[in-house]
Amino acid sequence: MAETKKLPQPMRPSGFGGRIFGVAMEMLSASNYRWVVKQLEPTAPRTYLEIGFGTGKQAQLVAARFHPAHIFGVDPSELMLATARKQLARFSPATAVDMRLGDDTLLGQWPPAPIDAIVASHSWQFWADPVTTLARIRALLAPAGRFVMVIRSHISEGVQKWIPNPITKAGNELEGLRAALATAGFRIIVDEKLRTGSQGIVAVIA
Ligand SMILES: C[S@@+](CC[C@H](N)C(=O)[O-])C[C@H]1O[C@@H](n2cnc3c(N)ncnc32)[C@H](O)[C@@H]1O
């Protein structure tokens, strides 16, 4: 997580623009959040991890619905970390909330396995080494756990230039992701286009 230059708001929300971005993101993603909660119903997670939690809205909905014992989260934006921690404080102490500043690479050391539900919504495209991160997620996931991804569908040519994920950059992103999930030891059980146009994928251990 070592960079100093100013990154685009979706990748690193910050300052006043980041606050506006956060509000817009919550509005535009409201139906995605509901879809994710629905995908977690069969698991009713006791432990939940979110990679790139943004304002924490998704985690709040999970906390309210399932009352998990632990919520873990990682996001490299200081603004998003402060926002999400504030939003989730009301669920503590029934739910232990451990949200940290960092990116997907933190998953090599933390949190403790097993995790019942792992969610990455609109953050996959920012992973610089997605193959390593998928292997780490596979190692963290509980045997009957679910890994839920929401993938933004449209990427402009401009964004394609700076987006770090090599699978996204290579084009035919969804095919690349499906193949990477299989290689990492996952089986896809849900793969559908959501109302927002994003792709929703649910994977379990193969
Ligand atoms: C488009 S926002 C989505 C936020 C949230 N998941 C949602 O759907 O409301 C992307 C989030 O991913 C975070 N992010 C960027 N790079 C990341 C990385 N390598 N690992 C984890 N999160 C990352 C950003 O800071 C931002 O909060």
Q: How far is the CA of 148 from the centre of ligand 1 (A)?
A: 14
Backbone angles phi, psi at 9, to 5 degrees: -55, -45
DSSP 92-131: TTTSEEEEEE--GGGGGT-SPSPEEEEEEES-GGG-SSHH
pLDDT at 160: 79
- Grouping H, G, I as helix, E, B as strand and the rest as coil, residue 53 is coil
pLDDT at 155: 76
pTM confidence score: 0.95
Q: Does 8 fall in a domain?
A: no
pLDDT tens readout for residues 28-40: 999 999 999 999 9
Does position 25 have pLDDT exceeding 70, yes or no?
yes
Q: How far is the CA of 145 from the centre of ligand 1 (A)?
A: 22
Contacts of 198 (CB under 8 A, 6+ apart): 32, 122, 150, 151, 152, 153
Q: How far is the CA of 120 from the centre of ligand 1 (A)?
A: 8
The atom of ligand 1 lying closest to the CA of 128 is 19
Mean pLDDT confidence for 156-183: 90
Q: How far is the CA of 190 from the centre of ligand 1 (A)?
A: 22
By C-alpha distance, which of 59, 55, 67, 56 is closest to 13?
55
Give, using CA atoms, the residue closest to atom 16 of ligand 1.
126
Q: Does 148 fall in a domain?
A: yes
Give, using CA atoms, the residue closest to atom 5 of ligand 1.
54
Q: Does 13 fall in a domain?
A: no
Q: Does 50 fall in a domain?
A: yes
Give the CATH number of the domain where residue 151 resides: 3.40.50.150
Number of domains in the chain: 1
Give Cα 92 to chain centroid, integer Å: 21
pLDDT at 5: 63
- How far is 21 from 83, CA to CA, in rounded Å? 12
Cβ(75) – ligand 1 distance below 6 Å: yes
Q: Does 9 fall in a domain?
A: no
Q: Does 11 fall in a domain?
A: no
Owning domain of residue 72: 30-205
pLDDT tens readout for residues 101-123: 999 999 999 999 999 999 999 99
Does position 4 have pLDDT exceeding 60, yes or no?
no
- How far is 87 from 61, CA to CA, in rounded Å? 11
Q: Does 6 fall in a domain?
A: no
Element (H, E) at 47: strand 47-51
Cβ(116) – ligand 1 distance below 6 Å: no
pLDDT tens readout for residues 136-146: 999 999 999 99
CA atoms within 13 A on the CB side of 193: 3
Q: Does 117 fall in a domain?
A: yes
Backbone angles phi, psi at 164, to 5 degrees: -80, -25
